[in-house]
Structure 1
Amino acid sequence: MWLLLFLVFVLIWAGGTSWYLLRKPSPFTVESVRPAGPLELDQRKRDKVLKQGFTKEKIPKNLDAIVIGSGIGGMTAAATMAKAGKRVLVLEQHDVAGGCCHTFTEKGFEFDVGLHYFGQLHENGLLKVALDQITEGQLEFVELPQHFDSIVIDDSGKRRDYAVLSGKTEMEQNLKKHFPDDVKAVEEFFKIMKVTARKIHYLAILKLIPQWLALFLLKSGIADFCSSIFRLSGSNATEVNNRLTTNKDLHVIFSYFFYGVSPKDSSCMINALMLHHFKRGAYYPKGGASEIPFNITKVIQKHGGSVLVRAPVSRILVDKKGAAYGVTVKKGDEHVEICAPVIISNCGIFNTFQKLLPPEIQVKPEIQSRLDMMRPGKASFLVFSGFDATQEELDIVPTSIWLFKSNDMDAMMDEFFSMSKDEAPENIPMALITFPSAKDPTSQLRHPGKSCMTILTMVNYEWFEEWRDTRVRKRGEDYFHYKMRFASCLFDWACKHFPKLRDKLVFQEAATPLTNMHYLSCNRGAIYSADHNLERFYAEAMARNRCDTPVKNLYLSGQDIFSCGVAGALHGGLLCASSVLSYPVYIDLLLIKKKLKRKKAAEAEKLAKQKQQ
C-alpha cells in the first residue's frame, strides 16, 4: 500500500516539476556559443579583467546575488545565474581572480596554482558543453598526448614504470598489457568505472530533490533497488582493491590520484571516477589556466555583474530572523556593507560557518550538524621551478609523473602523516611532477625560451602551524629553511627523472599550507578543501551535504559540495546555481548536448551523401 501511495506521489511531483520547468527561461542556449577569438596577450588588458580592484563605486546596483570567492565553483555559479538574467557580484580577497585557476608570474615564468589538466572535454561531452556555456565558447583546450600520466613506483630501488593511456578501449587494454596476470581484476575495475560514470548523476539528484524525499528513497531501499551507485559510493577503496587482486602495484594504479586520504579511508567510487575522467582524453587550456577566469569574468560582466579583487569578506550579514542579506568587505579600516537577496559562499564550509557567520549563528545545532559531516582536508605543498631552457633542451614532457616510494599506499601514507615535524621533509613518499609549459603550445609564444615545473605533495598543516601568525614573505629564516628542506627533497627527486633540470634552474619558490591560506584562503592550507574521507561519500551524507544551508538565503558552492578538483568544483557551481534558481540547469545542458549530437550526425550524413554523388 505504501509503495502505491509513494508512486502516486511521485507522479504528482513529477507532473508539477515538469510544469514548473517548462515555465522557466533557460540560462543556456546553443546560440550563445560563438567561435573562439584570438588569445589576449596584452597583460594590461588581461589585468583590467582579472585584477579589477574593489571600490564602492564599482559595486553594481540592484544586485541579485553576491558570491564570496572567485574559484571555479563560484565563477560557474555566478556565470550561470548571469545567463539566467541575474546581476551577480563576485568578491575575491586575493589581487587576482580565479582561485586555484589563477596563475602568477615571477622572473618571467608563469605558474599554475592548482590546475594540472582536465578530462571529459571531448566533443559534445557534458563538461565541454558546460564550459562552452559559461565562457560562451571562448575557452579553447589542447588535447594532451594519449600517454597523459606515468606512474613510477620506486620500492627499495626496484623501479617500475606504468603508462596510463587515454582512449575508450586503449586505457583498459594498456593496463592489461602491464598486468597480464590480473586481466580479470582490470576488467572488474573498469566495470566499476563504467557504473560510476553512468550513474553518478543519481547522487547529484539527491542534492537537488527535497531532502526528505532523498532520505526516504535511501532509507526505504528504493534507491539501492534502482542502482548500485548508492552502495558503491560508500565502498572502501582498499577493500575493493583487495577483493579484485593481491597485486599491490595494480592497487596503486586504481588509487593513484592522491588527495590526502589513504585508500583505506577513501571511496572506491571517487577513485574510479577520477580515472574514468580521463578515459576520453586529457586536456589543458590554451593560453594557461588563467584563461578560465578571464573568459568567465567577461560573461558575468556582460550581464551587468562584476568580479572585484582585493575584496576580503569579513562577515556574512544575518538579520534577526536568521536570514542572510549581505556581506561586509574590509577596505582599509572601513567595513563596507553590500546587500543582496542571495549570498553564495565558495570559500569552503569551514571558512563559511566558522569564520564568516556571526558567533550566535555559528553555535546553532543545525550549523554544527553540517560541520560535523566534514573534517578538514590534508594540506598541500607545492614547488614552483623556472628554467632558462626550452622543452626540447630539458627533455621534459606534457605527461604528468606520479611518483611513489612504495606500492603499499595505506602504510606509506599512514607512516608519513604520523611523522614528527623534523622527520617529514626528507621522507616524502609521493609526489606529482607536471610541466605546464610543455602542455601549452602558446607557452613559448608568451614566454620564449623559458620552461616551468610544478611539484605537488600532501603534508600536515601542523608541521607549519608555529608560523601561522607571521606575515607572508616575512616568516623568518627558520620557516624558509624548513620549507626549503621539503622543496630540495622534491626537486632532487624530479632531477632523477629529468637530469637536465638542475643546470638550467634559475627560479624556485615553495608554497606551504600557510601560503595556500594567504593567497587562496584555503582552510588549513587544503587546496582540495574538506577531507574526501569515506564517510563523506555515504549516500545519506551526500544527500545531506547540499548547496542550501540552515541560514536562509545562504548557499555553498565549490569542492565541498560534490568532489575535489576543477571539474568537481565546477559541478558544485552548477548544483549551486540549480538550487538558487530552483531550476536544474543540467536539463538544459543535456538537451544542448543532444541537439549538438544530432547536428553533428546530420552534417556527417550530408557529407556522406555528397561523397556518393
Structure 2
Amino acid sequence: MKTIGLLARDFIPLLLALFVQPQQLGLLLAVLAALGLLIMQIRVKKVKTLTAVNALFLTLAIIISSIMPNVNILAYSQLAVYAILACTTLLSLGIGELFTMQYAKDTTPEAIWTHPLFYRINRILTGMWAGVFTLCAIFAALTTFGVLDRTIGILLANAWCVPGFIANMMLPPYMQRRYAESMRGTKRPELDWEPVVSLEASVQAGQYDVIIVGSGIGGLTAGAELAAAGARVLVLEQHMLAGGACTTYTRRGGFRLEAGVESVSGLDEGGPLRHLLARHGLLDRIEWLKNTYEFRDGEEHTIIPETFEAWRDRLAERFPKEKEHIHALFTELAICFTQMRTVFGPDRLAPRIPNTIEEMNRFAEQNPNYLRWQGRTWKELLSTYTSNQAIHRELSFLAGYVGDAGEETSADAMIPLMGYFIYGGFRPRGGSQVLADALVARIRECGGDVLVSTDVQKIIIENNQVQGVQTKKQTYHASTVISNADPRLTYETLVGLEKLPSAYGGEVKKLIPSMSLFVWSAALSKPFATKNLIHYKLPEPITLPGTSQTITGIGIHSPSACDASLAPDGQGTLTVNIITDASASRYKAMTPEEYSTVKQEVDRMCRAAICEIDPAMADAILWTEVATPKTMARYLRTYEGSVYSSRRSGGNAPDFPHHKAPVQGLYLAGAGVGYGPGIEAVVISGGVVAEELVPYFANRSHIHTA
C-alpha cells in the first residue's frame, strides 16, 4: 500500500493541472506541487521519472499559458506527458532500470533490491505501466485532435491508471505469497497426503515403520534420524556394501579403492554433515583428513593454498592488475558462503525456509549477498568482478563435482563448493566406507536393520497407499517407504508409471540423466608423488575412437597418498575421473570386443596423462581397471549410469521431482531430489524427509539419543 501511495502522490500535480479551474490556478498549484516533490526527491537523491517529467512539462505549460492565455495548453500537456511516460517506461524495460523499482526501493529494505523476485515483480509492473501509459497517450491524442469530447476524453485518458493502481496494489503480495509457497514446497493436490503411522511399533518379523530402498548417504541419513526418533527402520541395499557411492572396496593385493567419493564438505561449524554426526554421537568415531588441490592448465601449474585467504593472495600476486577485483570477489564468496549457512542449525538438517513474506524480507535483509546470485550462473558472478579467463578457469575447476556445465553451472550450486576452500574438503581415514558404516551402526544401535545384497524388485502399492517392498526372496511390510534410488528408476521400475497420475508420469519421462564418468583405477608399486586432488587440462584434446568422445580435462587423485591405510606399505593407488555422457545403454549394446576396446582406449589415455605428470609412475603401475557408465548403472542403479541420478530437464516443473511422491507413504531422497549432488547435499535431502516424518513418531515411548 505504501508503494501505491508514493506512486499516487507523484500523480497529484497532473491531476491538479487537469481538474482545478481556472486553468492558470490549476497550473500554478500543479507546478508548485511538482517542484516541491522534485526538490524533496533531489535532497534525498531519489528523483522519480514521473516527478521530473511532471515538473518539466508543467513548468513549460504555465510559461506558455502566461504568454498565450487563450491557448488550452493542457490538452497538449496531457498528450505530451503520457507519451513521454510511455516511452520512458518502455525504455526502462529495455535497459533494466525499471520504472516501478524507483518506488519499490522506497518501501523495501535495500537487501531485497537484488533478489530475483524483486526484479521479476517490478519488470511485470513496469510492463503493465508501459501499457497503461500507452493507452492513456492514445486517448489523450484522440482528445487533443478533437476525435473525442474534451471532458470525456480527459476521463478516458486517465481512467486507465485506475486498473494500473489496482494491479500495482495486488500483484506484488500475490507473487510474494506464491514465492513463499514455492520455497515451502509444492502444493500439488496429488502430494497433499499424510503418512500412516501407528502409535506402537510392530514387533512382527518383516513388519517395519519405514523401509528405505538404497543405502546411499541420503537414505542412511533419513534412516539414522528416524531410527533415533523411535521408528522401526529397515534399509535394503542391492550391493554387498552399504553406502552407495560412499563405499570403499578391496582389490587384489590389498589395495582399497573408492567407489566415487573423494572429498566431503559440510563439516564446518554450520555444516549439515557436522550437525548430523554431532546429533548421533559420531563426530569422534571418524578421523577426517584434509584434502589439498592442484590445478594444471598447459604450462600453468598451481597448487591451491590450504586457506582461502592464501589462495586469494596467490592469485593477486599472479595477476597484480586484478588484485582489487580478486579481493572483492573472494570477500563476496566468503560472505555468500557464510550467509548460506544461516539456514542450517544443530537442531535440524533441513534448511530453514522462510514461510511468510515477513520472514522472506527478514531473510533477505540478513543474507543480501547470497540472495543476489539466486537464479544466476557462476559465470555471471565471476564476471561481475573480473573478466580474466584464467581466474575464471581456476575458480571453476570444481564445477565437475556438481555436473558438466562448467561456468554455466548455477551460482547456487557453486557457492557451497567454496566450502572446500574456506573450511576444507575432507576424507575419512580408512576410506569413505567409514562414514557409511558409522551411519549403519547408528541405525542398528537404535533398533533398525540394514541388509545388504538384498535387491528390491518392487515397491508394493495398493489403493494408492504404500504397503511395503518386494525383494527377490522376501516381502517386507511398511506404510512408509523412502526410495534412495534414482528418481526415474524409482517411478519407472520400482513403482510403475501406471501407478501415477498421467501428468506425473509425463514429468518422470522428461527426467534426463546427469553426467557419468569413466573411472580409471591403478595399483602402484610405490606411493604417488602428491596427495593433491589434481584438475588436469590435457595439453591437446584426445578423441576416443570407440565412443567419438573428445576429452579436454581429467581429475587425478591418489587416495593412498592422503591416507596410507588404503594401500599396502610402500605402495599406492591412483584414480582418474573422466566426465562423460550418461549413456549406459550404449555400452550395454556393445559386443564384448567393442566394450573391451573402449576400456583399452581409456586405459591408454590415462597412462599417457600420468606419464605427462610424473614419467616415473609409468613403471610403477601394477594393474589397472576401468569403470564406465555401464558400471555406474550396475552398481549405483541410476538412470543410464548417471553418477548424480536423473535430474530435472527444462521441460519439467521447477519443483519436480519432489521429496513426496503422488503415492501415500512414498518419499524420495538422494542426489536427484532437490538439493543436488555431493555428500553434503544428500545429507540435506535425507534430513528433509526425516524432518517431515519425525513428528509422527513423537509419541513413541522409546526415543534414542546419542
TM range (shorter): 0.7 to 0.9
- What amino acid sits opposite 1:316 in the alignment? I
SS state at 2:615 partner: coil
Pairwise CA distance, 1:466:
3.4
**Number of the residue aligned with 1:150:** 294
**Number of the residue aligned with 1:25:** none
Pairwise CA distance, 1:82:
1.1
The one-character-per-residue Cα deviations of 1:541-591 (angstroms, maximum 9, x if unpaired) are 3x6654222222111111123021122212222222112224999xxxxxx
Residue 287 (structure 1) aligned with residue 430 (structure 2): yes
Question: Of the candidates 574, 578, 592, which is equivalent to residue 687 of structure 2?
Answer: 574
**Number of the residue aligned with 2:531:** 398
Q: Map of 1:493-572 to 2, 5 A cutoff?
A: 493-531=609-647, 541=654, 546-560=658-672, 561-572=674-685
Residue 121 (structure 1) aligned with residue 267 (structure 2): yes
Residue 112 (structure 1) aligned with residue 112 (structure 2): no
**Number of the residue aligned with 2:24:** none
CA contact (8 A) 1:101 1:113 kept: yes
- What amino acid sits opposite 2:503 in the alignment? P
The one-character-per-residue Cα deviations of 1:441-461 (angstroms, maximum 9, x if unpaired) are 4335xx323310111011123
Q: Pick closer, same or farther for the CA change 1:459–1:250 going to 2, 3 Å.
A: same
Q: Map of 1:12-31 to 2, 5 A cutoff?
A: none
Question: Of the candidates 466, 489, 492, which is equivalent to residue 324 of structure 1?
Answer: 466
**Number of the residue aligned with 1:77:** 222
2:227 and 2:573 map into 1 onto residues whose CA distance is 36
Q: Pick closer, same or farther for the CA change 1:384–1:341 going to 2, 3 Å.
A: same
SS state at 1:437 partner: helix
CA contact (8 A) 2:461 2:467 kept: yes
Q: Pick closer, same or farther for the CA change 1:267–1:298 going to 2, 3 Å.
A: same
CA contact (8 A) 1:315 1:328 kept: yes
The one-character-per-residue Cα deviations of 1:398-445 (angstroms, maximum 9, x if unpaired) are 2110012489xxxx9xx98xx985432xx411111011111114335x
**Number of the residue aligned with 2:513:** 376
Q: Map of 1:477-492 to 2, 5 A cutoff?
A: 477-492=593-608
Greater relative contact order structure (CA < 8 Å, 6+ sep) = 1
2:424 and 2:697 map into 1 onto residues whose CA distance is 27
Residue 99 (structure 1) aligned with residue 215 (structure 2): no
CA contact (8 A) 2:465 2:663 kept: yes
SS state at 2:513 partner: coil
SS state at 1:166 partner: coil
CA contact (8 A) 2:534 2:557 kept: yes
SS state at 1:351 partner: helix
CA contact (8 A) 1:367 1:550 kept: no
Q: Map of 1:162-561 to 2, 5 A cutoff?
A: 162-167=302-307, 169-200=309-340, 227-228=367-368, 229-257=370-398, 258=400, 259-320=402-463, 322-331=464-473, 336-362=474-500, 364-369=502-507, 372=510, 374-389=511-526, 391=527, 394=528, 396-405=529-538, 422-424=547-549, 427-443=550-566, 447-462=568-583, 465-468=585-588, 476-531=592-647, 541=654, 546-560=658-672, 561=674
**Number of the residue aligned with 1:20:** none
Q: Pick closer, same or farther for the CA change 1:516–1:198 going to 2, 3 Å.
A: same
2:648 and 2:332 map into 1 onto residues whose CA distance is 19
- What amino acid sits opposite 2:680 in the alignment? A
1:144 and 1:576 map into 2 onto residues whose CA distance is 30
2:633 and 2:391 map into 1 onto residues whose CA distance is 35
The one-character-per-residue Cα deviations of 1:229-284 (angstroms, maximum 9, x if unpaired) are 44523102223333332211111122111143223542023122212333112322
Q: Pick closer, same or farther for the CA change 1:353–1:420 going to 2, 3 Å.
A: farther
The one-character-per-residue Cα deviations of 1:451-482 (angstroms, maximum 9, x if unpaired) are 101110111234x5333257xxxx61220111
SS state at 1:163 partner: strand
CA contact (8 A) 2:220 2:440 kept: yes
Q: Pick closer, same or farther for the CA change 1:564–1:550 going to 2, 3 Å.
A: same
Unaligned 5+ runs, structure 1: 15-57, 586-591, 593-613
Q: TM-score, normalised by structure 1?
A: 0.72
Length, aligned pairs only: 499
CA contact (8 A) 1:120 1:126 kept: yes
**Rg bigger for which structure?**
2
Q: Pick closer, same or farther for the CA change 1:189–1:401 going to 2, 3 Å.
A: same
CA contact (8 A) 1:76 1:134 kept: no
The one-character-per-residue Cα deviations of 1:504-526 (angstroms, maximum 9, x if unpaired) are 11110000000011111122111
1:498 and 1:554 map into 2 onto residues whose CA distance is 51
2:533 and 2:571 map into 1 onto residues whose CA distance is 19
Q: Pick closer, same or farther for the CA change 1:4–1:264 going to 2, 3 Å.
A: closer
- Greater helix percent: which structure? 2
Q: Pick closer, same or farther for the CA change 1:512–1:431 going to 2, 3 Å.
A: same
Deviates more, 1:124-133 or 1:231-240: 124-133
Q: Pick closer, same or farther for the CA change 1:421–1:196 going to 2, 3 Å.
A: farther
- Computed over aligned residues only, the root mean square deviation of the Cα atoms, in angstroms, reads 3.9
2:344 and 2:310 map into 1 onto residues whose CA distance is 29
- What amino acid sits opposite 2:533 in the alignment? S
SS state at 1:547 partner: coil
SS state at 2:422 partner: coil
CA contact (8 A) 1:135 1:296 kept: no
1:507 and 1:567 map into 2 onto residues whose CA distance is 33
1:305 and 1:242 map into 2 onto residues whose CA distance is 50
SS state at 1:311 partner: coil
Unaligned 5+ runs, structure 2: 2-169, 185-202, 699-704
2:507 and 2:586 map into 1 onto residues whose CA distance is 30
2:525 and 2:581 map into 1 onto residues whose CA distance is 33
CA contact (8 A) 1:140 1:286 kept: yes
CA contact (8 A) 2:404 2:579 kept: no
Q: Pick closer, same or farther for the CA change 1:467–1:168 going to 2, 3 Å.
A: closer
SS state at 1:401 partner: strand
SS state at 1:101 partner: coil
1:387 and 1:237 map into 2 onto residues whose CA distance is 38
SS state at 1:119 partner: coil
1:124 and 1:239 map into 2 onto residues whose CA distance is 27
SS state at 1:352 partner: helix
1:288 and 1:210 map into 2 onto residues whose CA distance is 32
CA contact (8 A) 2:221 2:687 kept: yes
SS state at 2:659 partner: coil
- What amino acid sits opposite 1:113 in the alignment? A
Deviates more, 1:231-240 or 1:311-320: 231-240
